[in-house]
């Protein structure tokens, strides 16, 4: 029986022979496609061999060869870089079979079905990591049975087999595989596996978006560095919906069919004194009405600017329409206030309140599906007209949340009574909120109501221990009197 080294030497010799003499250069198109498919299978099997070799090695393997660990061993033996070595190690952990301390037998892998798909060449390193990644992020919130179910479905999807839980009532071709195509489906790519795994993660971990969103909110930032060689470096982290909105605007500007960005006409002037130097709104003696870091404020400013830019009449269009952010959510979930929302072009699900925030300042388009076919489309316009917006701006002057002085012209208009619950798109039901306070309204503790056409605010207990409804007098006073007049009345 040949040793592993002999088998690998034979494979390597065969490949060298194939690469020598310009054989591949002389292939016709059909042969070239077959060659790519065959080389892809060899590549996946080679990756499987590397992963399995790593998965079956003990912790001291690299040390015995003078390396600091497995990462350095891979870099030296396989000639890969450190990030690739780290990916191999992660894959090895996913398919590793531990040895029982009691019986000495090999235990099943954490992902047994995907391990078999890896070893028979159905999935490679990238595909394996794409499949397990979204579910490993929820590993503490899903059961072993759920993980095994996801493992079986992912392995079948990778091979192009019928899924274990496929609905056989839709088996139109009578072959029993439920796909209606008369045979197996094509094998899944790494991108396909990532999308499918994300879908399974949403099904198994319906509450996972909230803690993920909380972590994302803490990490959001925009930082502009000091001038170097005539430019300012920009660094930061964008939340999924902000990144998606930016991508839409970027696509619009980079569209070769348009003439480039319009002239915004924006200019800045200096102000001698600050009318808000004494913030009477802020009753917190610590002056911590706004806990955001400077980097987070810059992120939120960009988010507001992107929303305004996307709605601007001079913004280049995509497909004949403004580059508008679209949030997908099930109608039943939106009505119940539970579940997930998704963004086109993004692999990350977002909490439902992102969809609510987006819908409050835009339109809702309902699409009715019947077994995948679109059978109905209705649109509900809920956007305040330009005249309504000007009136609300004139009344409220700035973001309604006390201590936030973002001008109302920069704000979004919030439906005090949600449109979905019968709230009209009327000046008596609209107030200006900056992007951040609008997005966080459901979790921040601030409450808003309308009283005779005037907005009223009730703050969280840390801001107002009495929890009274208070009317911002900026909404009723002439601008010249604002600075010298108490700002709140009960």
What are the pLDDT digits (tens) for 28-86? 999 999 999 999 999 999 999 999 999 999 989 999 999 999 999 999 999 999 999 99
349-389 pLDDT, tens digit each? 777 667 666 666 556 666 666 666 666 666 666 667 778 88
The number of residues making up the chain comes to 490
What's the pLDDT at 334? 67
- Check pLDDT > 60 for residue 177: no
Q: Over range 461-488, report the average pLDDT.
A: 60
Q: CB within 8 A of 334, min separation 6: which ones? A: 352, 355, 356, 359, 420
Range with the poorest average pLDDT among 62-71, 92-101, 212-221, 323-332: 323-332
State the Cα–Cα distance between residues 398 and 392, nearest whole angstrom.
10
Q: If residue 135 lies in a helix (H) or strand (E), which one and from where to where?
A: helix 125-136
State the helix-helix crossing angle for 112-119 and 144-159, rounded to 10 degrees: 20
113-141 pLDDT, tens digit each? 999 999 999 999 999 999 999 999 888 88
Q: Where exactly are the structural domains of the chain? A: 32-166+186-205
State the Cα–Cα distance between residues 420 and 147, nearest whole angstrom.
37
SS3 91: helix
- Check pLDDT > 70 for residue 168: no
What's the pLDDT at 247? 76
- Check pLDDT > 70 for residue 345: no
Return the ∠ at Cα 249 (arms to 246 and 254), rounded to 5°: 120
Residues of the chain above pLDDT 90, percent? 30
Query: Which residue do the tokens 């208009």 mark?
Result: 413
Return the ∠ at Cα 214 (arms to 198 and 430), rounded to 5°: 105
418-450 pLDDT, tens digit each? 766 778 888 898 999 988 888 888 778 889 999
Paired tokens of 16:
């060298």
Q: What is the pTM of this model?
A: 0.64
Q: If residue 45 lies in a helix (H) or strand (E), which one and from where to where?
A: helix 29-55
């Amino acid at each position: 029986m040949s040793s592993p080294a002999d088998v690998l030497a034979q494979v390597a010799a065969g490949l060298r022979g194939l690469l020598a003499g310009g054989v591949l250069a002389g292939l016709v198109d059909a042969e070239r496609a077959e060659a790519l498919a065959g080389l892809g299978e060899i590549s996946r099997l080679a990756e499987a061999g590397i992963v399995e070799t790593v998965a079956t090695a003990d912790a001291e393997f690299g040390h015995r060869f003078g390396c600091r660990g497995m990462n350095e061993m891979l870099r030296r033996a396989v000639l890969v870089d450190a990030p690739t070595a780290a990916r191999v190690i992660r894959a090895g952990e996913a398919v590793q079979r531990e040895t029982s301390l009691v019986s000495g037998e090999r235990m099943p892998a954490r992902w047994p079905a995907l391990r078999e798909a890896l070893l028979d060449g159905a999935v490679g390193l990238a595909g394996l990591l794409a499949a397990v990644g979204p579910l490993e992020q929820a590993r503490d919130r899903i059961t072993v049975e759920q993980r095994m179910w996801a493992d079986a479905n992912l392995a079948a999807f990778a091979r192009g087999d019928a899924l274990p839980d496929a609905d056989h009532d839709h088996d139109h071709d009578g072959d029993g595989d439920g796909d209606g195509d008369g045979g197996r489906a094509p094998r899944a790519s790494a991108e396909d596996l990532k999308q499918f795994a994300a879908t399974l993660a949403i099904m198994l971990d319906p509450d996972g978006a909230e803690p993920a969103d909380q972590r994302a909110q803490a990490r959001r930032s925009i930082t502009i560095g000091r001038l170097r060689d005539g430019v300012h470096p920009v660094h930061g982290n964008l939340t999924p919906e902000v990144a998606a909105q930016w991508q839409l605007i970027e696509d619009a500007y980079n569209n070769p069919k348009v003439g480039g960005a319009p002239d915004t006409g924006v200019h800045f002037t200096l102000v001698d004194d600050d009318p808000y130097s004494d913030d009477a709104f802020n009753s917190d003696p610590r002056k911590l009405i706004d806990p955001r870091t400077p980097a987070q404020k810059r992120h939120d400013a960009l988010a507001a600017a992107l929303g305004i830019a996307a709605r601007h009449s001079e913004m280049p269009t995509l497909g004949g329409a403004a580059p508008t952010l679209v949030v997908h959510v099930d109608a039943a979930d939106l009505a119940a206030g539970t579940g997930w929302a998704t963004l086109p072009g993004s692999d990350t699900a977002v909490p439902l309140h992102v969809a609510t925030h987006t819908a409050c300042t835009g339109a809702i388009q309902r699409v009715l599906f019947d077994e995948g076919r679109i059978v109905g489309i209705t649109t509900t316009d809920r956007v305040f007209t330009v005249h309504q917006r000007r009136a609300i701006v004139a009344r409220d002057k700035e973001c309604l949340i006390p201590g936030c002085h973002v001008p109302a012209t920069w704000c979004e208009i919030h439906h005090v009574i949600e449109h979905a619950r019968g709230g009209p798109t009327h000046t008596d039901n609209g107030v200006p909120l900056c992007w951040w306070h609008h997005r966080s309204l459901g979790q921040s503790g601030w409450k808003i109501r309308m009283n005779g056409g005037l907005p009223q605010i009730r703050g969280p207990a840390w801001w107002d221990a009495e929890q009274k409804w208070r009317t911002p007098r900026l909404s009723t006073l002439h601008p010249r009197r604002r600075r010298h007049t108490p700002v709140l009345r009960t």
